[in-house]
Amino acid sequence: MPDKPKILNSSLISKTRIFRIEELELEFSNGTRAHYERLKGAAHGAVIVVPMRDDNTVLMIKEYAAGTHRYELALPKGRIEKQEDLLNAANRELMEEIGYGAKCLTHLCSLSIAPGYIDSCTDVVLAQDLYPRRLEGDEPEEIEVVPWRLDRLHQLLDRDDFSEARSIAAMYIARDLLAKH
C-alpha cells in the first residue's frame, strides 16, 4: 500500500451538539490533491454492550431513534466520557439503560460504521454475570428491556424494528465467541 495521504489543511465546516463536519485537503503519494469531508464523532469514542442475562439470553433495549423516526430494538450503547475507560463506560451504560451492572466485562473488538467519511469507532463489550444496579441516564423516557435468545438471532433480521448494524454485528460476534466456550 502507498503511504497515507498528507493532510494539507483541515477546516471546520459545521458543528452541532453531537457532531463536527470537517473538510480535509489531502495530497496523495502520487501528487494528486483532493478534498474530503468527514464526520467527527464523540471525542473519546463509544461503546456498545452485549449484556448476557444467562448463557443464551441477551438483554436488548427498545428506544426511540431519531434517525429512522421509530422505536428501534438494539443493544445498550453510548459515548465514552472524558477520563472514563471503555469498560467503565460500558458498565455505566448498562446501569443507565437496562438497570444492571456486570461483574465480567470483555472487550471483543472495535467496529467502524462508514470509515470513508466517519472517523469514529465503537468498541464492542461482552457483559456477563449481571447484577441489578440502576443509574439515572439521559434518556427522555423509560427504555424497554427486551430479552432475546441468541439461538433465535436469525429471527431478529426479519423484524422491521431491528436494523442497527452495530447491534447486528456485535450480537453475531458475541454469539460465535460464546459458542466456542
Task: For residue 160, give Cα distances in angstroms to 8, 103, 119.
Answer: 44, 33, 28
- Residue 25 domain flag: yes
User: What residue spans of 35-181 are helical by DSSP H?
Assistant: 86-97, 153-156, 165-180
* 87 and 31 part of one domain: no
- Residue 123 domain flag: yes
CA dihedral 168, 172, 149, 55 (to 10 degrees): -140
* 161 and 139 part of one domain: yes
- Say if residue 35 is exposed, middle or buried (CB neighbours under 10 Å; 0-12, 13-18, 19+): exposed
Please write the tens of the pLDDT for every residue from 16-53.
887 889 999 999 999 999 999 999 876 788 999 999 99
Residue 139 reports pLDDT greater than 90: no
* 113 and 166 part of one domain: yes
* 34 and 57 part of one domain: no
* 97 and 138 part of one domain: yes
* 70 and 116 part of one domain: yes
Question: What rounded mean pLDDT belongs to the chain?
Answer: 93
Nearest to 118 by CA among 41, 179, 43, 178: 41
C-beta of residue 28 within 8 angstroms of C-beta of residue 5: yes
- Residue 97 domain flag: yes
The whole-model pTM stands at 0.91
- Residue 1 domain flag: no
Q: How many structural domains are present in the chain?
A: 2
Q: Which domain holds residue 36?
A: 6-40
pLDDT at 43: 74
* 14 and 70 part of one domain: no
The C-alpha angle with vertex 84 and arms to 82 and 86, in degrees rounded to 5, equals: 120
